[in-house]
Amino acid sequence: MKESGFKVTPWEVSGNIDYNKLIKEFGVSRIDGNLLERIRKHTKELHPMLSRGLFFAHRDLDWILNEYEKGNKFFLYTGRAPSGPIHIGHIFVWIFTKWLQERFDVELWFQFPDEEKFLFKNLSYEEVQKYLGDNMLDVIALGFDPNKTHFIIDTRHASLMYPEAVKVAKKLTASSVKASFGLNDSSNVGQYFYTCMQAVPAFLPSVIKKKNIPCLIPHAIDQDPHFRLTRDILPKLGHYKPASIQCSFIPPLTGISGKMDSSKENAIFLTDSPSEVKNKINKYAFSGGQSTIEEHRKKGGNPDIDVSYQYLRMFFEPDDKKLQKIYDDYKSGKMLTSELKNILIEKINAFLKEHQKKREKAAKAIDKFIFKYKA
């Protein structure tokens, strides 16, 4: 969609996103106070990403809770299309997914569609395979429970997935795919078929366990077009429509609009060193502060457009009181931009230190995560 200067598709997010308009346009529902309270009943407390509105929209989340309350547990489905190193913009959904998995005690199916970026970008098959191995390490290092987490890799699990994908494909015309994803006659035929593979994990556990299991997909809202098609088709194949819980975008370092991408100045990668993090944030993180210290002390900063503050709000400062104090101090001018940045640098580096330690041990665990089946 392109409207009022912003654009949200599975392949492009740009401009200053009006989330109210996006909710209307996409036809999703806002997560309201009632729904938050229903979630809290099961999770005891709310994850900050929920209470602070980073996860703000959904499809059929109320139905997921109805079924859960009847004893019909859902499974979670999320994924990662390997195309480069993982940055902190990628992991917000996964961290939240992990929290859902733990609080609801459910299985997670984690898809690595290792053909997607090969088909859609100027990346070789080998490059994508390299990133696949690399990306799996980061996902494992986040601490998912290997007993309840199953990695499925499109090319390696194709014997399981392709037979289901063709069932989706038979229900999906070229014109639907063109309309949903902006493909045209010059697009390659793998791009036409790809969304069928992305649909499969939403019902694969039901196929494997031979019973209908509700599926909840946590994802950034730009992926909604994929799952809209999936939701149209799955009931025709006798499966439930997958539900979703959708988050807004993690802004790039350089500004509050769009979403974090993998360009060097816009992203903090999970393998960045403490000094790289420090330099990037000091150099690039868009600031809501004033141009001189004197002016800042007098007029105060604007945390609402300050990327460092937003990262703290979105994930790195889970304590609401501390966050509020940072907000107030920055807004009043008591806290300088350099001080705000230092708080974030410290938080990110503490997180990355722990992550990188776990990442080093992750290679040994890969085999436990990859879903096993008989060919």
- What is the size of the binding site for a second copy (CB under 8 A)? 41
d(CA 271, CA 53): 28
34 binds a second copy (CB under 8 A): no
- Please identify, using beta-carbon distances, which residue of 44 and 126 lies nearer to a second copy: 126
- The region of 18-26, 41-49, 86-94, 149-157 touching a second copy under the rule CB under 8 A is 149-157
- Please identify, using beta-carbon distances, which residue of 114 and 272 lies nearer to a second copy: 114
Nearest-approach distance from CB 107 to a second copy, in angstroms? 21
Rule CB under 8 A: which of 165-204 touch a second copy? 165-167, 169-175, 177-178, 183-193, 195-196
d(CA 177, CA 314): 33
Among residues 106, 158, 208, 362, the one that binds a second copy under rule CB under 8 A: 158
- The region of 64-72, 86-94, 141-149, 153-161 touching a second copy under the rule CB under 8 A is 153-161
How many other C-beta atoms lie within 10 A of the C-beta of residue 216?
28
CB-based burial label for 71 (10 Å; 0-12, 13-18, 19+): exposed
Cβ-contact 21, 221 below 8 angstroms = no
162 binds a second copy (CB under 8 A): yes
115 binds a second copy (CB under 8 A): yes
Contact letters (x/-) for a second copy, 119-138, by CB under 8 A?
x-----x-------------
d(CA 313, CA 311): 5
Among residues 80, 157, 280, 355, the one that binds a second copy under rule CB under 8 A: 157
Long-range contacts of 137-140 (CB under 8 A, 24+ apart): 137/359, 137/362, 137/363, 137/366, 138/86, 138/91, 138/270, 138/355, 138/359, 138/362, 139/80, 139/86, 139/94, 139/110, 139/369, 140/358, 140/359, 140/362, 140/365, 140/366, 140/369
User: Which residues of this protein are in contact with a second copy, per CB under 8 A?
Assistant: 115, 118-119, 125, 154-163, 165-167, 169-175, 177-178, 183-193, 195-196, 373, 375
